[in-house]
A and B are shown apart, each in its own frame.
Chain A
Amino acid sequence: MTTGAARLFLALSAACLLLESAIAGEIPLPERRSGYEFMSRETRAMQDDDNGNPATLWVLDGEALWKRKAGAADRACSDCHGDARENMKAVAARYPAFDPALRRPVNLEQRINACRVGRQKAPALAYESKDLLALTAYVARQSRGLPVAIAIDERTRPFLEAGREAFFRRQGQLNLACAQCHDDHWSGKLAGSSITQAHPTGYPLYRLEWQGLGSLERRLRGCLVGIRAEPYAYGAPEFVDLELYLMWRANGMKIETPAVRP
């Protein structure tokens, strides 16, 4: 290929990519569908019945942890925050949220750990540990039924854009972008499983594949490994930016925590 032709080829490819991203924009609110709608009737029944939903075991643990004193400060969450059923309402619906101290958004797990370390003077809970999952599930459960309400301002906009860019970027050995499955091919199938729109309305959730409760980051790591990309470390800024974008993309949808998914 001559240099001129090569340049033209590159320019056209770049234009195609941009055009691709512009066409595959966010799903309009009336068309947003939760992963719940893609599941079988039986799996939905599992989510709908608190007495049959295994995630309830973690929520109950979270409730116990909420009231338990911890750390050098010998404080329980309830000592500052009172009754979670009242005071944690709508909290999960606006996370990830901007943390002025860190000058960037943090997710709910990081917010809980910030309290543990800063207020309870206790060591941070490990990502995906039973205790952190239980507390996150308990707090997020208090937003069940409420709409996702991520508010973007000039502080959070750059992080939202970073997350959006990651969502549309081809990556991994399979050279796939999240958008290609979850914007362009949702309702299709991948190896027998339904491709959803990828709205994280139910996290932390009980995944049948995991036979346990897990966070959004655990699920995202699974996706990244699936397209043969290097998964980010838990709590990485790249992850939180992506979580911010995904939640913002799900604005208006109802929180379902703790959900059940196949």
Chain B
Amino acid sequence: MTTRREFLVLACGAASVTAATTARAQIDPNQQALRKAAMQEALRRVVGDSPVRRGRVKLELPPLIDNGNSVPLSVAVESPMTPSDHVKAIHVFTEKNPLPDVVSAYLGPRAGRARLSTRVRLADTQTVLAIAQLSDGSFWSDSAEVVVTLSACLEEGLI
């Protein structure tokens, strides 16, 4: 008689599935460290040596999502969006995806509102970072934690 734990392991076909019901990171620590470093590097490419302040940016992600393949993401930045005071760019980074860059939007005063909504892929439970570059050269940020539950057994290659 198959126990519940054995059933879960077999059903997902992945030897690395643990019986833990809370979401634990699926990426091994070495890989995680490399990817975190890659995100820092990507961040440096955008901001250089400038300080990044928390605030004015609102990054919205559902805290618990159905499937990491398609996660709704929204970034909004407080700004009057005038020619002298506006958001020039919005960048989104992740710390655990294979690549740190997610999406970069370039806008100007004609946008009226500094906002971007899209759907992204998230490889694991992680922190997502949004950076806004303002017309005065300053950088502002917000971050959000997302729990990506063990997604249903990937069908690719099975059928």
* Interface positions of A (Cβ within 8 A of B): 39-43, 45-46, 173-175, 189-193, 208-211, 218, 221-222, 225-228, 231, 262
* Interface positions of B (Cβ within 8 A of A): 2, 7-8, 10-12, 17, 21, 23, 62, 64-67, 69-72, 149-155, 158-159
CB–CB A210/B155 < 8 A = yes
* A221 contact set on B, CB distance < 8 A: 159
Interface of B is mostly: loop
CB–CB A42/B72 < 8 A = yes
CB–CB A209/B69 < 8 A = yes
Specify the chain A residue showing the minimal Cβ separation from B6: A174
With A175-B2, A208-B67 already in contact, the answer to whether A191 and B62 are too (CB < 8 A) is no
Q: Tally the A-B contacts, defined by beta carbons under 8 Å.
A: 71
* A46 contact set on B, CB distance < 8 A: 70, 72
Further contacts, 8 of them, CB under 8 A, given A190-B152, A191-B150, A231-B159: A43-B66, A192-B23, A192-B150, A208-B66, A209-B154, A210-B155, A225-B155, A228-B10
Instruction: Give complex CA distance A174, B7 in Å.
Output: 7
Pick from A41, A190, A227: contact of B62, CB under 8 Å:
A41
CB–CB A225/B159 < 8 A = yes
Closest Cβ–Cβ distance, residue B120 to chain A (whole Å): 12
With A174-B2, A192-B150, A193-B151 already in contact, the answer to whether A40 and B8 are too (CB < 8 A) is no
With A42-B62, A191-B152, A192-B150 already in contact, the answer to whether A208 and B11 are too (CB < 8 A) is no
